[in-house]
Amino acid sequence: MVTASAEVAAAVADAHRREWAFVLASTRRVAGDLDTAEEAVQDAYASALSVWDERGIPHNPAAWLTTAARRRVLDLRRRAEVARRAMPELLPAEVEESDPDAQAFPDDRLRLVFTCCHPALSEEAQVALTLKLVCGLSVPEVARAFLVAEPTMAARITRAKKKIAAAHIPYHVPEPGELPGRLDSVLAVIHLVYTTGHTAPSGADLIRRSLSERAIELAVMLRSLLPDDPDVAGLLALLLLTDARRPARTDADGAAVMLEDQDRSRWDTAAIRTGLTLLETSLGRRAPGRFTLMATIAAVHDQAATWSDTDWEQILGLYDLLSDVWPSPVVSLNRAIAIGFAKGSEAGLAELDRLATEPQLAGYGYLAAARAHLLARLGRIGEARTAYQEALRLTANDAERAHLQTQLTSLRHS
């Protein structure tokens, strides 16, 4: 077992977090398949622990790791005795640490993102591959992130890789005419990764910070690769404007704190400023897409000095636009909640009741919780209790359940 100094171990860990996607993408271009590339990159990181301890941490860790991984690809091919004659064609000149172009392969990372998020793969497979290959999470980490058994997640990732190989899914950035549809899959996956971390579907903690941070890192990377795309700017703005409220979303004991009760002085003002700048950039390019509209809604919340200052009429208007751009049951639910605050509880409840027959919301605890809140505001306590009990049955996150139970208990006392 390799034992490295604390300084080297920290440098390797930092390189893993910062450079994994770059090194894997560059190696994948040479290796020809994801499994070989991933094995070679893992070996490169492992060897860095001992080599860097002996020779010192290189000035350009990414270039060193890329060179080591490519050499490992060559070694793996030789050992397997596969395509020896093709090697001169497949392997370009090795990248030396001093090579000024060592970091000049942003398209390789973009190719990797688009490969993971190919529409031929299921959404679950897209997310799993993105976390595994682009974010560099291990199979156990990906499994824990989505609360599934490790063998289940390993099988899911293996099936996705096999489908990429069997279907000959190309390892390239789509042509300009294909880009809008393909890019939307990438943005949707990054957003799903974030929302899964923002409010964990189940478990003890309200937030899985590591997962939401990974999503923001992905959005930042995509923004650096596609700096002129307004939808990319809109997505990053949405994540930053939403995540800015994270410090106030739980109390010292980890209990959930609703937006209405949050201490807004704890919000991340730097993230809000950056998000607003990105949003302005996105809005200035073309008619806003769904992520830009969602970011605008988040901005309205972030710019309200207090809960009572929230401009619900503006939020409702934005949800009307979002419903046209991206009609979905969850958007309809959020729009109904906005109606409750902008037009009154009766109007909001009527809209929520209309959504009760929507199949995709049948097991969605937020619908029941929203009904309970409006029913309580209307003084219909018995019905509110029933709705809170339904929300509890449909909610698996412990922090959210504790909040719902507190609301139910307060109704019982009333």
Long-range contacts made by residues 11-20, C-beta under 8 angstroms, separation at least 24? Answer: 11/52, 11/57, 11/61, 12/45, 12/48, 12/49, 12/52, 14/61, 15/45, 15/48, 15/61, 15/62, 15/65, 16/45, 16/136, 17/136, 18/62, 19/61, 19/62, 19/65, 20/134, 20/135, 20/136
Mean pLDDT, rounded, for 398-406: 95
Q: What is the pLDDT of residue 325?
A: 95
The average pLDDT across 3-8 equals 81
Looking at the predicted structure, is the pLDDT value of residue 180 above 70?
no
The per-residue pLDDT for 87 is: 40
> Does residue 214 carry a pLDDT above 90?
no
pLDDT of residue 265: 97
3-state secondary structure of 241: helix
Residue 315 confidence (pLDDT) above 60: yes
Residue 204 has pLDDT above 50, yes or no: yes
The mean pLDDT value for 113-140 works out to 84
Mean pLDDT confidence for 137-161: 83
Q: What is the pTM of this model?
A: 0.77
Residue with tokens 């793969």: 121
Residue 80 has pLDDT above 80, yes or no: no
Task: Tell me the average pLDDT of the chain.
Answer: 87
Q: What is the rounded distance in angstroms from the CA atom of residue 48 to the CA atom of residue 54? A: 10
In the chain, what are the domain boundaries? 6-92
User: How far is CA 61 from its chain centroid?
Assistant: 26
Q: Tell me the C-alpha distance between 79 and 77, whole Å.
A: 5
User: Which pLDDT value is given to residue 166?
Assistant: 84
- Distance CA(369)–CA(389), nearest Å, equals 9
Per-residue model confidence (pLDDT) at position 193: 86
Average pLDDT over residues 368-379: 96
- How far apart, in whole angstroms, are the C-alpha atoms of residue 236 and residue 301? 17
Are 336 and 312 a contacting pair, CB within 8 Å? no
Cβ–Cβ under 8 Å, residues 71 and 96: no
Which class does domain 6-92 fall in? Answer: mainly alpha
Share of the chain above pLDDT 90, in %: 51
pLDDT at site 107: 59
Q: Say if residue 128's pLDDT is above 90.
A: no
pLDDT tens column, 332-350: 999 999 999 999 999 999 9
pLDDT band at 81 (very low <50, low <70, confident <90, very high): low
DSSP class of 130: I
- Residue range 300-306: mean pLDDT, rounded: 97
* pLDDT value of residue 403: 95
